Chain A
Amino acid sequence: DTGVSQNPRHKITKRGQNVTFRCDPISEHNRLYWYRQTLGQGPEFLTYFQNEAQLEKSRLLSDRFSAERPKGSFSTLEIQRTEQGDSAMYLCASSSGGPNQPQHFGDGTRLSIL
Chain B
Amino acid sequence: RKEVEQDPGPFNVPEGATVAFNCTYSNSASQSFFWYRQDCRKEPKLLMSVYSSGNEDGRFTAQLNRASQYISLLIRDSKLSDSATYLCVVLDSGYALNFGKGTSLLVTP
**Contact-size category for B:** 20 to 34
For residue A37, give the distance in angstroms from its CB to the closest CB of chain B: 8
What is the chain B residue whose CB lies nearest that of A101? B32
List residues of chain A with CB within 8 A of the CB of B49.
102
Taken residue by residue from 64 to 108, chain A's Cβ proximity to chain B (1 for < 8 Å, 0 otherwise) reads as 000000000000000000000000000101000001101111111
Q: Are B43's CB and A106's CB within 8 A?
A: yes
Given contacts A100-B31, A100-B91, contact A45 B43 (CB under 8 A): no
Main SS at interface, chain B: strand
List residues of chain A with CB within 8 A of the CB of B43.
91, 105-108
Q: Are A43's CB and B97's CB within 8 A?
A: yes
Alpha-carbon separation in the docked complex, A107 to B39 (Å): 11
Q: B1 near A: Cβ within 8 Å?
A: no
Q: Are B101's CB and A40's CB within 8 A?
A: yes
Taken residue by residue from 55 to 84, chain B's Cβ proximity to chain A (1 for < 8 Å, 0 otherwise) reads as 000000000000000000000000000000
Q: Are B99's CB and A42's CB within 8 A?
A: yes
* Contact residues, B73-109 vs A (CB, 8 A): 87, 89, 91, 93-102
Interface residues of A (CB under 8 A from B): 31, 33, 35, 40-45, 48, 55-56, 58, 91, 93, 99-100, 102-108, 110
